[in-house]
Structure 1
Amino acid sequence: MTAAAARREFSGAMARLGPFGAEPLLALGVSGGPHSLALVLLAEDWLRPRGGRLLALIADHGLRAESAAEAAGVAALLAGRGIAHRILPLRLAPGTALHDRARAARLAALLGAAEAAGAPWLLLGHHRGDQAETLAFRALRGSGPDGLAGMATARAAPGALLLRPLLGMAPSALEAICAEAELSPVRDASNADPRFLRGRLRAVLDPDGPGAEALAEAASAWGLRRDRARAAVATRLAEAAAFRPEGWLRLDRAALGRDGIAVAALTAALRVVSGGPYPAPAAGVAALLARGHGALGGAILTSAGVLAREPAALSPPIAATQGVVWDARWRVTRPLPEGARIGPAGAGPAAEGWPEGLPAVVRAGLPCIFLGGESSSAAAHTIFQPQGGAAS
């Protein structure tokens, strides 16, 4: 694929991932490597006739002595092109699984920065070779169908919609775009470190070769299966679940059913209600579905069909500083008096005064602000109160 063909491919990918509206603000994860720099150039060209803006986000993981200087060099390159940018320093504690933790911290930092800037979209520079590598890596780890679907081109994430418009492109085409623009990308030697499985995979898998192309096509096929399965789950949930703004839902057992789609739908509902990072085990979900009530994965299902956060699994109270997230579900969005804490309403006075019909198990898990260490109804202020069926 030539540089010109890559531009056409990028435009087509963005058309499929849109719409983006007028004058969109796109956040980009930029490492300074050839693929993320190519993403900058392609997005810059694509935005020009649309009047949009770019925000380049540079994560400095600090894993190498030269990483700070490299981040500063990338920032200078972007500044020379008039592109807004931010350096995001990451400070990782030493220990095991350092590369995995670095990837997770980088993504969290990018998403947080995109949200803070008001950018609805975060674009990443993963390409066809990365997709092939991901599929091979997950297959070696025994991943199931969802894992073998590889990276999605679009995924809703906390703070922004995550987009990967380069997944169909060969890395050589992206290198050509950088060469055409006479840019000198950063080369991270740790990417090929044979001490890590990913480094060993990169040594044997040619990202531009037929093997990588075949693996990427296989991931695409698995992705279509995943998308169809998710559509079926979404349809079943729309038929069987009434989601409430307080973060709970009521299930219609007859509409939910007892088949495999029902298990997948209940799995998704449990994760939504609990705020958990991972789905509950399928065997446990199937048993809960058959039993009709019980606790699993940080959520509780009552015999009346109420699915709510399990009170026993709630996070303890923490300082209610602006921006903090409590119980992986509730964010404090406004400044509060010094000493304020956020925690569960519980079963005491703080849980009183809620609208009629709100189940007790739901009230117990709703967040409240506590001032001065008191927990009386006069000193406890609900962070969230449903008004007209919408969050406020």
Structure 2
Amino acid sequence: MPAAAPSAAEACFQPLISGAPAAAFVEAMSRLGPFGPTPALVAGVSGGPHSLALALLLADWVASCGGRLLAGIVDHGLRPDSGAEAAQVAGWLAARGIPARIMALNLPPGLAVQARAREGRLQALLHLARDHGAGWVALGQHRGDQAETVLLRALAGSGRDGLAGMARGRSAGDALLIRPVLDCSPAALEAVVAAAGLAPVRDPSNSNPRFTRARLRVALADPDGEGPATEALAAAAAAFARRRLHLRRAVAARIAEAAWVSEAGFARLDLPRFGQDVVARAALAALVRAIGGATYAPAPAGVAGLLGRGAGSLGGAILGRDGLLMREEAALAPACRARDGVTWDGRFRLSGQPPPGLLVGALGSAAAGLPRPGWLPAAVAPTLPAFFAADDGALVAVPSLSYPSAESCPGVRLRFAPRGGAVG
């Protein structure tokens, strides 16, 4: 039986990735799986050539496997015409059978605007994935982006993990972030979009020399992403990524052997078994990040110092000499409105729709008047998430303690889901 003819996107994609087979994109997706029989994905689409190419390629891929794709278009509101551009991109996608949602961020101008825009965009896409039952968020970073990232991190003094660049896939709470075209050159992606007859949106900030990444792009002098410098940086990132993967496997094994992580947001370490070697330092960094509710792990020097002392505070977490690692009470986030999808303190994700008029925040001093189960250290109890009445601050429920009963706030769950992803 003859093979099916490739789609226009696949046909264009085929010859442009050096040395890649015809099914390059399908092969890249297979390395990121398994996806199951009917995968649901969200693709971040800015309207630029690379994210547009990703959407076109993913549309073919989900059609071939019975999945579904939703494009997330984030309007940062940083340019007067950004709203009109977002609507135009949504129209392009709709004409090709790709549903899209536009999400407005309305970011205020100011310092670190690009970093704030990236984080806001990512959070908007993750919320969209959760709302639509999608388990994956696909981003369109390519080989040139990887090269620039490695250079940026080298200039910032990053260690081995940072020099591994962007991961092809990583956990981000309720969804997995994947980068299916990370090995692809920008020229190949531009050609996919050209073959589809689209003229992509060009963000002028990408060439604005006031931004470090734009200056590095000029220094590389490789707009097609196929030059020797880009190739060398991408190869270096791949080598560091292999080392990172090896270390993460060792970290997972060490945590399984010498630590216990509670769904109540604390951990117990067997410090003698935990050790003080490079694996122990990486494992403690991962645990501190999760328990402290941070997006990124603390600096290696701080982790080594804490491990050497055997006790102390770091990154919003406190390590006791008995091996108890818990959230630092003084660093807890303030209470926030209880609603589906909110993450409190960078650690606990609320799912389900709670009754109106509730806040979620730290149990605090109210813990003193409640019965405490044997598994819960007294010092940890005030750091537990609880529901309070917004009008008078009265304690309503503490799900992890089944207070006032196991049926309190039915259909609502507070799950330990660290902002930076799973431990390890």
> Any stretches of 5+ residues in structure 2 without a counterpart?
1-10, 407-412, 416-424
Q: Secondary structure at the match of 2:379?
A: helix
Q: What is the alpha-carbon distance in structure 2 between the residues aligned to residue 125 and residue 144 of structure 1?
A: 25
| Cross-structure match for 2:108 | 93
Q: Which of 289, 292, 314 in structure 2 is aligned with 1:296?
A: 314
Q: What is the alpha-carbon distance in structure 2 between the residues aligned to residue 140 and residue 329 of structure 1?
A: 31
| Cross-structure match for 1:59 | 74
CA contact (8 A) 2:268 2:323 kept: yes
Q: What is the alpha-carbon distance in structure 1 between the residues aligned to residue 386 and residue 204 of structure 2?
A: 49
Q: What is the alpha-carbon distance in structure 2 between the residues aligned to residue 255 and residue 280 of structure 1?
A: 22
Where does 1:67-86 land on structure 2 (aligned, <5 Å)? Answer: 67-86=82-101
**Which amino acid is 1:217 matched to?**
A
Could you state the TM-score of these two structures normalised by the residue count of structure 1?
Answer: 0.92
Q: Secondary structure at the match of 1:273?
A: helix
Change (3 A) 1:42 1:374: closer
**1:11 CA displacement:** 0.9
| Residue 223 (1) aligns with residue 241 (2) | yes
Where does 1:76-225 land on structure 2 (aligned, <5 Å)? Answer: 76-205=91-220, 206=222, 207-225=225-243
Tell me how many residue pairs correspond in the alignment. Answer: 387
Q: What is the alpha-carbon distance in structure 2 between the residues aligned to residue 290 and residue 141 of structure 1?
A: 26
CA contact (8 A) 2:367 2:382 kept: no
Question: What's the RMSD between the two structures over aligned residues?
Answer: 2.2
| Residue 3 (1) aligns with residue 19 (2) | no
Q: What is the alpha-carbon distance in structure 1 between the residues aligned to residue 126 and residue 345 of structure 2?
A: 19
Q: Which of 39, 46, 62 in structure 1 is aligned with 2:61?
A: 46
Change (3 A) 1:146 1:73: same
Q: What is the alpha-carbon distance in structure 1 between the residues aligned to residue 251 and residue 158 of structure 2?
A: 20
CA contact (8 A) 1:385 1:391 kept: no
Q: What is the alpha-carbon distance in structure 2 between the residues aligned to residue 240 and residue 162 of structure 1?
A: 29
> Any stretches of 5+ residues in structure 1 without a counterpart?
none
| Cross-structure match for 1:235 | 253
| Cross-structure match for 1:384 | 400
Q: Secondary structure at the match of 1:287?
A: helix
Change (3 A) 1:284 1:186: closer
**1:37 CA displacement:** 1.3
**Which amino acid is 1:330 matched to?**
F
**1:196 CA displacement:** 1.8
**Which amino acid is 1:84 matched to?**
P
Q: Secondary structure at the match of 2:115?
A: helix
CA contact (8 A) 2:372 2:378 kept: no
Q: Secondary structure at the match of 2:62?
A: helix
CA contact (8 A) 1:345 1:351 kept: no
| Residue 318 (1) aligns with residue 336 (2) | yes
Q: What is the alpha-carbon distance in structure 2 between the residues aligned to residue 391 and residue 94 of structure 1?
A: 34
**1:180 CA displacement:** 1.8
After TM superposition, the structure 1 stretch with the greater mean CA deviation from structure 2, 212-221 or 354-363, is 354-363
Could you state the TM-score of these two structures normalised by the residue count of structure 2?
Answer: 0.85
**Which amino acid is 2:392 matched to?**
G
Change (3 A) 1:348 1:173: closer
| Cross-structure match for 2:269 | 251
CA contact (8 A) 2:333 2:344 kept: yes
